[in-house]
Every structure is written in C-alpha cells, then in structure tokens.
Amino acid sequence: MNCECVKQKSDLSLLCPVLEEYAAVPGSLITILQQAQEIYGYLPMDVIYHIAAETGSTPAKVLGVATFYTQFRFQPVGKYLIMLCNGTACHVNGSERIAQTIQEYLQVENGATTADGLFSFSIVACLGCCSLSPVMMINEETYGNLTPDSVKMILQEIQKKEAAQ
C-alpha cells in the first residue's frame, strides 16, 4: 500500500465479511471481486491493493484478473447503468440506431457517465433475450423491442422520476 497512485480512501471494513468468507478459499478471487464491486459500485484501486494483501496475492495479479473480464469497472458508475445489447440478433434488428439515440439524447459516449451522474452507458455482448431484439438492460430490468422513440420515452420516465424525488 505504499504506491503513490493509490489515493482513494474507500471504507475497507465493508469488505471484511467477504474476505472472511472467501480469502482462504482457493480460486475465489473473481467471487471476491464481484462482491467488492457490489459494495463499492466499482473497483477502487485501494480495494484492489487490499484484496491482494488479504489473499496473499500481488496487486498485479488481482488487477490482471479484474481487467480481463468485462464485468469489472474501475470508475464509479451512474445511478442507472444502461447496458445495450450488441448481440447478433440485436445488431441485425438495428441496435446501432438505438445506440445513436441514447448517445445523442443523453450526450454520453459508450463507457462513460452523464455529467449529472445519473446514467452510465455501456454497449455489451449478448444479453440472451434475442427474441426481443433490440434489447437493453437498465440496472436489472430488461427492455425489449426498442425503437428510437421508445428508448427516449424510457429514459424520460427515469429522468422524470428522479426529478420528482
């Protein structure tokens, strides 16, 4: 933990129960990383160092595993994570237009978060709901048969709900 680049100060105590359960179980690194991401919303660098120290591994190995898998994020995400499917069926049925609509409407690039911190946008591999293509997931909810208009309406609803709170 003496690396200069680790400047974050995450609450590492939140990870204690996870490490207690899994640190000594061989082959549990991905499970630990998944639960850490559940807790912090992403994988802060100090958490990665902490996991390495607690599992008797090196930060390089932990970061190497984390960066291999698309599920892991290294930046905080917005309150709503939009995952637009880019599987074959969605591609054939026009997911590109949906991506354009989202990017234009929210002014957000793939992999980025909106300035207000409300939405993060990510184009992902197949979500397995091909018969409803094009499909997106916002947090754990799936939306199918998207059109540029229906996507805008879904996003507007969320914005309205948030503004009302």
Partner 1 sequence: MSIRIAVGQGSCGIAAGAGKVYDALFAALQGSEVSLGVVGCIGMCWLEPIVDLYRDHTLQMRLVQVKPEDAERIAKACCHGDLSALNDLAISEEDAAFLTKQTRIALRNCGLIDPNSLESAVEAGGYSALRKVLAKQDGMTPEEVIACIKESGLAGRGGAGFPTWFKWNAARQSAGEEKYLICNADEGDPGAFMDRAVIESDPHTLIEGMLIAAYAIGAKEALVYVRAEYPLAIKRLHAALAQAKEAGYVGRHILGSDFSCEFRVKAGAGAFVCGEETALIESLEGNRGMPRLKPPFPAAAGYWHQPSNINNVETFANVSWIIDHGGAAFAAMGTPDSKGTKVFALTGKIRRGGLVEIPMGKTLRDVIFDIGGGIRDGKDFKAVQMGGPSGGCIPASLLDTIIDYKALGATGAIMGSGGMVVMDETTCMVSMAKFFLDFTAEESCGKCVHCRIGTKRMQEILTRITEGKGRKGDVELLEELCNAIKDGALCGLGQTAPNPVLTTIRYFRDEFTAHIEEQRCPAGSCTALRRYTIDPANCKGCTLCAKKCPVNAISGSVKAPHRIDLDVCIRCGQCMAACKFHAIQVG
The contact set with partner 1 (CB under 8 A) reads 26-31, 33-34, 64-65, 68-72, 86-89, 91-93, 124-133, 135, 140-145
Q: Is the CB of 115 or the CB of 125 nearer to partner 1? A: 125
Structure tokens that stand for 101 in this block:
């609509």
Q: Is the CB of 7 or the CB of 105 nearer to partner 1? A: 105
Which residues, listed in sequence order, are joined to residue 120 by a DSSP beta bridge? 81, 113
**127 close to 142: Cβ distance less than 8 angstroms:** yes
CB of 4 to partner 1, least distance (A): 26
CB of 65 to partner 1, least distance (A): 6
Max Cα distance, the chain (Å): 51
Q: Is the CB of 41 or the CB of 144 nearer to partner 1? A: 144
CB of 157 to partner 1, least distance (A): 14
CB of 29 to partner 1, least distance (A): 4
Phi-psi region of 142 (alpha: psi -120 to 50; beta: other; left: phi over 0): beta
Cα atoms in the Cβ-side hemisphere of radius 13 Å centred on 66 = 25
